[in-house]
Amino acid sequence: MVLKFNFLYNSNNSNLLFFLENIVNQSALEYKLLKKEAIELYVQGNEEELISFSNELSSSLPMSIFLKNSTAEVVPQIPTEENTTFKLEELNLPFCSSCLKKVEDSTKLDNFYNPFVSCTICGTTCDVKELKLLKNNISIEIKDNKELFEKVASLINEDKSIKIKTLSGEFIFKKFNPSLENNTILCTNLENISKVFVASKAEVVALASIEKPSIDLRINEVFKLSNNVKQEILNVRFVNDLILYLISKELEKYNIDFLSYDKTSLYDYEVTFEGIVKPLDILKVKILENDTVILESNSYDKTLDTIYSKFKEESKGHFMVLLHEYDFYEKAILNFYSSSKNDDNIILYSKEIDGFLDIVKYELPQSINEIFETLKSDEVATRLVDNYKNKFPNEYEIALSCDISSLKENSIYSYWKIVSVILGFTSKIEQNNILLEKAMACVLEKGPRIDYKLKESDKIFNRNFLLYKLIQSGMSFKLAGVDDNTLALGYIESFAHYIATLVDDINNEVTLDGISLTGDIFTNTLISKLVHKSITKNFKIYYNKDFVIQK
């Protein structure tokens, strides 16, 4: 009897192959491990052996932010092809479930509460022998590790600050105080994360995954109001090494579920050990429409940096990396790069055209007056400007006098900043994007349809975006009495429709195999939701696998 396990793994790293091989090697079963579009594991044995193996695989295989789906089925035989060979450059990950079994087993004193166990599943090895608790650089006598972690939890409960050497670096931890300014939070008990934060099931699963990433989470309104918290969002992660995990177990006795941490605060005590460890990389991710997008990482294959740096334009660098990650050189892919930091671009790649085609050209005006002068070249638009000037004289004069020279990026994001000034959302070009903030604050589900128009052309590439049309339709709706938040939502919603329309138009000329989204604008939850909703045809949407979405 042969069982085939199929794993949809959205990464080019070899971590899953490594774990699967280690787990199956704990048994004496014949197996085959293949990497194709998905990772396939074939295991042969009798029914009892395969049931036992399936149970072991289920308990030992760690969750991963890159593992999207897994299935199992009975097949006639193991394929004859050779096992996929893989080179594991480095596996530097937090603890796995097998590690936890060892440190929690009180019958095995060598490993019980020992944060430096060795593990045959995740490959962890460590020659550290002793963990120390210090005060003023003087070691405090402790009977064993269990007592040490109990003492640390007690000190944290007493509002003491503890500097802890972890596999991610040295940080100062203390009890989370919501009345103080906090930036980074360690959740020590994911079961109670909803006491403070709004977190989806997918976000909680990601926090608990083997990669132990950090995620920006919104503080829930009940907690915010009852604790007079001014902050809206905090960066949160779960314990990512065994030292922190064992402390978290002891903190349960005090009902402490969250710690704040930083690298610079004063501290009362120190937990440390002799020995050099290679720091773990704390990924920062965002969960978007069931996709995990990498915001910050040092763990990807550095050859991707070489590929990225071959292009002066960030948009092409990101797109080239994505094509490499998915091996899409034989495909036709339309990439949308939209950024708050760099020039936007919409690029078509196809083997038919032997490279890249720039689809849309964005250009900033020299001044807001230039926009009004362009509008006045049309009779209908001239009347619109006059009506706007008469009804909103203050907004009109402020817009005319606004200096937009601080804007450097030829992008939709910059256009939204200009729109915010002209429509009176703000009186100056601000660092944050007021239009986007107002759209996210809107309580309605739909806004007015704003014109995202391109100059008429017989060709599908290098078309000019008509900024004045974007302004004209917004002014019309403001004159009609549409409130600011609803109008702002219309701009974001129509941006998503604009993307969908371009997808259809390009697909009519070149049959597309997929759409890719790069640039930090697409990490915004509202924009992501609307873009995914607007692309209604059966187009697969791709994000970078291991590479960050915005370099």
* Dihedral angle over CA of 411, 309, 36, 55, nearest 10: -80
- The residue out of 60, 75, 90 marking a domain boundary is 75
Same domain, 129 and 256: yes
pLDDT, tens only, 319-351? 999 999 999 999 999 999 999 999 999 999 998
| Parallel, antiparallel or unpaired: strands 541-542 and 514-518 | parallel
Q: What is the CATH number of the domain that holds 24?
A: 3.30.70.100
pLDDT, tens only, 143-201? 999 999 999 999 999 999 999 998 888 999 999 999 888 889 999 999 999 999 999 99
Distance CA 35, CA 287 (A): 26
Q: Are the CB atoms for 523 and 293 separated by under 8 Å?
A: yes
pLDDT, tens only, 87-126? 776 677 888 889 999 999 999 888 899 998 888 888 776 6
Same domain, 136 and 268: yes
* pLDDT for the residue numbered 92: 77
| Exposed/middle/buried for residue 112 (C-beta within 10 Å: 0-12, 13-18, 19+) | middle
Domain count, the chain: 3
DSSP string, 139-171: EPP-SSHHHHHHHHHHHHHTT--EEEEETTEEE
Q: Are the CB atoms for 451 and 437 separated by under 8 Å?
A: no
- When comparing pLDDT for 64 and 108, which is higher? 64
* pLDDT for the residue numbered 30: 95
In the predicted structure, residue 495 carries a pLDDT above the cut 70: yes
Same domain, 153 and 259: yes
* pLDDT for the residue numbered 328: 96
Same domain, 149 and 34: no
Q: Give domain status of residue 252, yes or no.
A: yes
Same domain, 170 and 260: yes
Q: Give domain status of residue 525, yes or no.
A: no
Same domain, 252 and 132: yes
Task: Find, among 16, 546, 532, the residue nearest to 326 by Cα.
Answer: 546
Q: Are the CB atoms for 442 and 425 separated by under 8 Å?
A: no
Q: What is the CATH number of the domain that holds 197?
A: 3.90.870.10
Same domain, 178 and 263: yes
Q: Supply the range of the domain harboring residue 414.
A: 364-495
Mean pLDDT in residue range 501-507 = 95
Q: Are the CB atoms for 214 and 235 separated by under 8 Å?
A: yes
DSSP letter, residue 192: G
Q: Give domain status of residue 357, yes or no.
A: no
pLDDT, tens only, 354-406? 789 999 999 999 999 999 999 999 999 999 999 999 999 999 999 999 999 99
* pLDDT for the residue numbered 167: 82
Q: Give domain status of residue 266, yes or no.
A: yes
For the chain, give the mean pLDDT: 94
Same domain, 490 and 392: yes
Same domain, 174 and 42: no
Instruction: Walk across the sheet containing 39-44 and list its strands.
Output: 30-35, 39-44, 2-9, 67-75
Same domain, 379 and 261: no
Same domain, 157 and 23: no
Same domain, 52 and 143: no
